[in-house]
Structure 1
């Protein structure tokens, strides 16, 4: 498949080489309307082509090698109102300046995950939640977990030895499809996705779909889809470095180098994070006793990620990309508590192409490969000679191959069709934990989606996805979403069917942990869901308020049950489970630079078979955000107070995880008018009131915060 793909790539490149004009250009300056200051990083492009760029730190932009003619020109920047203007480009040098007006809320920002087509958030027919670049920046989070806890009440994380178990509206990360720039994040450790690969400083925005409402990204997204869009400035020559330091010698760093040579562009990023870890309690639960331990609740770690992406515009209608990344993480444990620590390694590569058939229609193909390796790394020499210091023994090797073909056809301004084919193959290799040493399974899916607008007030998205699994047969999963607009109110509703085959681990994986044996089960049935949500939004220039109610019924939910022995657990189908609740989001601009926002989530998640709550779920969660923004000519201040309030989490037969409330204070200072440089300083306090859960090691934790922690950061941004 890969050889065939690259043959097509080079053929298209050869065909498209002479397609650009060499003598025509468009240049100018993009500024803010309120101050007239230059606006760095604003995107400007011709709709229906791949011709585009971004303004440098002086607000200047330049587009070269343009074919003379009439174009629809788009100028956009996050947090500002988009400009669309019909322009005529003539032979030679053309000059145009633009002034962007700041938007009053996130509602004017564009989302694409729900339908695969661009919609302003307030007009997105599939209910979507957006975490903007401004919100991401304002938190200054150490990791993805802290970021989401600060900004979305619908998300929760249950800390574990090797990572955090993510939940969305009461359902675990097994039912959440996590995407980075539309590509699946793969690699399971201890039952959860390794979210540590996500550096908050490299995030542009996050788009969230809840429930089985996604047609394009798989029917296995029973709880929802999280699409993380990474930063890509689009500037000609760009370099940035972001460095943050916190207590416990916790460092995080993000470096980006971008070069745009016209038709060929390169994007390189390097992320590094490390921490000495910390201990919440010097005691550990061993059976019914508490014993002293040196084990750290948060393990010391060190990791880095290197990624590279090349893009080539063969013609104004045809472009290609190739990308790859390498990730490595060491999680250390003291010799006094364990013979080994954990070591993770991830390699990805992929390529794709997109061909614009006209100003609106296109066909695209993407291929993505992910290989995730999980090892034990020994931290000393064994006296019996069984292992040596730094020797690694592999636990499992997980591989993903995903090929996607998509065709979008805009029949009219009121009707858009999307068709696609999605091939997904998973393979696991583990000599010690799989019966036959390896296992694999593939899924082939076909989907069709129709976006329709009626009477300018009603938008409907309807479609169906056909899924065929290697072992577990076929299923049809229809989706239907509707948006009705009346005045300042939006009424939204979505209905979807989900189908999720058991994972390779659930089917075949066997292992032992702390004296307890965990077994796979080849007799598992697929999990199926039925999701329904209804919501109302009220939007004005100063106030945005939304409330939505949902119910997610899951049949044949897979979980561990008693395996016939005191210390044996086996995967099995719980006949029925349900998650239902209410989400409320509020954003108010009070004037003079101040704003108030936040949200509340009520979740009733139950195992209906045993009539008990689902484990690890808090019923009540809430977020509060107070912000102040002010712009002077060459200096901007952003100050924030974030609060997270959450009640206890239920665990059957074990003590519940404690509820908590955490408050953080952050400030961000931006210095501009430094030529090609922009300098940003950040500083703040995490956990202002110094809350610590000092439960013994092995207990269920609501949060692993080490207490009050101070942090500082510096970002240097250069472009020309």
Structure 2
């Protein structure tokens, strides 16, 4: 109902816009000074206001309904010097053209995640790994896990039938904060984020900040922050459709429609994905066979699939309205549904997930330098059993709710400049979480809330030396007070950047870790929460050296992340009552007193000429349970990515070819066989054809897993990859922009 109210308010705002519209119109073109080529997608905006636009396919821009007066206007485009000048807008139509000069300084794209404020990548005081749209397109991934493992050696995924458990530098999903356009992704499947909600076709770029970031983002951000920025357009009318098909009836589609009418804008998207799933082996481990020696596991024939059939849908809507040059509002919401189907011979039910989220907020510009933002977010994630046959009191197709998770937060932030080289951010956040489950909690409902205040100071002491210092004070309902400071420094030495960071992380146990208990499917293992858990705290240290020139970039980072009271599972004695009900093994959450992840990350990229670019990276991870002196489970030690890209343009046709590879070794599991290492290579081609009026057409085709590697371990084993072997895929992308 609230979302419908946002919709009504937004349309009333649109109507009001026409009632009070001004008559001044400003238009023109943006070209390069050398060669006079139109710059497509250049940004034109009025600093200190919410008014801005981008150029179209001919380098043209237009502002309508402007109020007459004097303005400072800014024009920018990646790789070119920004242009700023004062103009007078009169109550009629006028034309102003701009020419931009190429910049000799390659500052790169603008990133925001490390500090919450914009910085050019090369001069960002907090090291940020940027995965740009060119790399996203080169991989042409079917899902988010394939995208990240194909590009960044720092990421890994422990796959399972309910989803993939993400890791960053040896620490798991629980310690990684995932943001979509700055909004936290909430709700878990088997204790892990449902990453299927992220469609690679909608990704503009990804910003990764490694290490503890609790000072700015609060709990969860111990291993790092992943901010996924989706595609947007400031064109008057924008529409896009992307479709892709491959083996096993795997089909995905992304649709987006945007409208920008002066002060009001609307962005609607719909995503759909489905697959029949696949087997990796015709055999599974007989979990009812009473044997503790994994090497002597009994195998039985099975219909179970490593990846089960599924279908999902996501629809989202966002409205923005600029009330004035100083004040802007937004309202947005999304609905996600996913069904996972098991063969009827394997299970009597599958899984169904439902997520409803909505947000609203405001931004007020006090002047050209200072602003206040206020955001409210609500997210409700539900997890069901969905029966595939009649069973006991259930009928085929019936859904039974298992758990409902709800999170609401309010975030108030004030950013102001003390001097040109001194920026201060202060804010406060309130978070409330509720977990409901009939039969999986001691009661039917548990809740927790947190209130925190934070401050961050960005200061440039010298021309080549800058610091970022931040701290957050946290007051948790169950675990009391905590402070999480962070200090980062950047020193620029010619074309070298030297960065160092110390940060303290904090993560309270989740409501599931504290109170949730369940018996896994039809197996004989019982999983228990533990209300006596302690909060997890970390100390993160890193040092990096980076060298960037126009065609070549290289970075080397060393890090150490010490985590105290890390939460994991341990096997405990099964009580007599549970044993009588058929439980053979009981596992319960506990705190590992000391754990550590340390290692190095190496990244390189070189444009060698002739349209060719080579690059890749290597990550060494040494992750250990220091209390028991063993490696952390599910972590390999060596990861590498390689890529060769080729770009060529002939008149109205462009070709982009990408060869990407992923190599990693075995993952450790205590008392069980390791997950096998693997070596996967992928060839992707993208074809861009001449525009037809306002329409743009692109096509893609490629081969995934060129050398046809399959991990054919029995179902129930730990897998390194769920890739089904060599597959072919084709896709197309159609855009309309005017």
Using structure 1 for the length normalisation, give the TM-score.
0.95
Indicate how the Cα distance of structure 1 residues 187 and 204 shifts in structure 2: closer, same or farther if over 3 A, else same. same
Q: Does the aligned pair in 2 maintain the 1:21–1:65 contact within 8 Å?
A: yes
Q: Partners in 1 of 2:270 and 2:325 — Cα distance?
A: 30
For residues 233-265 of structure 1, the C-alpha deviation after alignment (integer angstroms, 9 at most, x for no partner) is 121111110001111111110000111122111
Q: Does the aligned pair in 2 maintain the 1:212–1:219 contact within 8 Å?
A: no
For residues 502-527 of structure 1, the C-alpha deviation after alignment (integer angstroms, 9 at most, x for no partner) is 00010000001121011001001100
5 Å matches for 1:289-438? 289-382=298-391, 385-438=392-445
For residues 20-70 of structure 1, the C-alpha deviation after alignment (integer angstroms, 9 at most, x for no partner) is 871322212345678766554443222221101222334322112234455
- Which of 677, 688, 697 is residue 715 of structure 2 equivalent to? 697
The answer to whether residue 520 in structure 2 is matched with residue 521 in structure 1 is no
Indicate how the Cα distance of structure 1 residues 205 and 640 shifts in structure 2: closer, same or farther if over 3 A, else same. same
- Which of 441, 453, 458 is residue 451 of structure 1 equivalent to? 458
Q: Does the aligned pair in 1 maintain the 2:17–2:263 contact within 8 Å?
A: no
Partner of 1:534: 543
Q: Partners in 2 of 1:273 and 1:39 — Cα distance?
A: 35
Q: Partners in 1 of 2:26 and 2:607 — Cα distance?
A: 37
Q: Does the aligned pair in 1 maintain the 2:24–2:65 contact within 8 Å?
A: yes
Q: Please report how far the alpha carbon of residue 101 of structure 1 lies from its aligned counterpart in structure 2 after TM superposition.
A: 7.3
Q: Partners in 2 of 1:84 and 1:360 — Cα distance?
A: 18
Q: Does the aligned pair in 2 maintain the 1:213–1:495 contact within 8 Å?
A: no
Partner of 1:90: 89
Partner of 1:646: 664
5 Å matches for 1:668-679? 668-679=686-697
Q: Mark the runs of 5 or more structure 2 residues left unpaired by the alignment.
A: 288-296, 575-583
Partner of 1:489: 496
Partner of 1:610: 628
Q: Does the aligned pair in 2 maintain the 1:154–1:621 contact within 8 Å?
A: yes
5 Å matches for 1:276-291? 276-287=276-287, 288-291=297-300
Indicate how the Cα distance of structure 1 residues 419 and 591 shifts in structure 2: closer, same or farther if over 3 A, else same. same
The answer to whether residue 45 in structure 2 is matched with residue 45 in structure 1 is yes
Partner of 1:23: 23
SS where residue 428 of structure 2 aligns? strand
Q: Partners in 1 of 2:111 and 2:20 — Cα distance?
A: 30
Aligned pairs, number? 711
Q: Partners in 2 of 1:153 and 1:589 — Cα distance?
A: 20
Q: Please report how far the alpha carbon of residue 540 of structure 1 lies from its aligned counterpart in structure 2 after TM superposition.
A: 1.2
Q: Does the aligned pair in 2 maintain the 1:622–1:646 contact within 8 Å?
A: yes
Partner of 1:241: 241
Q: Does the aligned pair in 2 maintain the 1:214–1:225 contact within 8 Å?
A: no
For residues 88-140 of structure 1, the C-alpha deviation after alignment (integer angstroms, 9 at most, x for no partner) is 13313332344667899995100011111110001000111111122112211
5 Å matches for 1:509-588? 509-513=516-520, 514-565=523-574, 567-588=585-606
Q: Partners in 2 of 1:556 and 1:409 — Cα distance?
A: 37
Q: Please report how far the alpha carbon of residue 445 of structure 1 lies from its aligned counterpart in structure 2 after TM superposition.
A: 1.0
SS where residue 146 of structure 2 aligns? helix
Using structure 2 for the length normalisation, give the TM-score.
0.93
Aligned-residue Cα RMSD (Å) equals 2.3
Q: Does the aligned pair in 1 maintain the 2:339–2:352 contact within 8 Å?
A: yes
Q: Partners in 2 of 1:141 and 1:561 — Cα distance?
A: 36
Q: Mark the runs of 5 or more structure 1 residues left unpaired by the alignment.
A: none
Q: Does the aligned pair in 2 maintain the 1:57–1:718 contact within 8 Å?
A: no
Q: Partners in 1 of 2:42 and 2:715 — Cα distance?
A: 49
Q: Does the aligned pair in 2 maintain the 1:447–1:464 contact within 8 Å?
A: yes
Q: Does the aligned pair in 2 maintain the 1:35–1:633 contact within 8 Å?
A: no
Q: Partners in 1 of 2:364 and 2:272 — Cα distance?
A: 36
Q: Does the aligned pair in 1 maintain the 2:542–2:557 contact within 8 Å?
A: yes
Partner of 2:679: 661
Q: Partners in 2 of 1:259 and 1:38 — Cα distance?
A: 23
Q: Please report how far the alpha carbon of residue 165 of structure 1 lies from its aligned counterpart in structure 2 after TM superposition.
A: 0.1
Which stretch of structure 1 is more off in the superposition, 592-601 or 577-586?
592-601
Q: Partners in 1 of 2:203 and 2:34 — Cα distance?
A: 27
The answer to whether residue 724 in structure 2 is matched with residue 717 in structure 1 is no
Q: Does the aligned pair in 2 maintain the 1:20–1:315 contact within 8 Å?
A: no
